[in-house]
Structure 1
Amino acid sequence: MKINLRFFASVRELVGTAQEVLEVAEPLLTVGQVRQCLIARGGNWEYALAQARSLRMAHNQVMCGADSVIADGDEVAFFPPVTGG
């Protein structure tokens, strides 16, 4: 399964990239599971995407919650609640 990831504002700065393709052997079924997979990387990933942090998420460019179901090739984005230009 391949998922297109996008990171914005302070999340992008912390993880050091604006986008990447995540390839996983076992399917991730929800946006929340993608977040947990990235948190498991540790370091800045764990800090930037921690459950305690207030983050907005989007699935295929539509705001969503952690329970949004994803499919192969979908886009998942993470960003803080307020972003600037």
Structure 2
Amino acid sequence: THPHTVELTVENTGERLAPQLIATLAEPFRRGTDRIRTDHAGVGLGLAIVTSITRAHDGTLTLTPRPAGGLRVTVRLPAAPHPGR
């Protein structure tokens, strides 16, 4: 938490991701390249939904490639005012 925002960061490991690919990952139905799990491939809506929810709450979503591979996803939302302020 910060004075005026709250922040949640999630990271995963995997292949190194090109900046051009990162820019498309929050688009609906985009799953990147070779991002298929064996149990269920998914449809590429997860980050698109996160983007919609984040915007609805006046927040920001940042996608950053990790240097060793994988992705760092950070959501920042305005902190709720404390009662009595």
Q: Report the structure, 1 or 2, having the larger helix content.
A: 1
- Sort the TM-score into its range (normalised by shorter chain): 0.3 to 0.5
**TM-score normalised over the length of structure 2:** 0.33
**TM-score normalised over the length of structure 1:** 0.33
- Give the number of the structure whose alpha-carbon radius of gyration is greater: 2
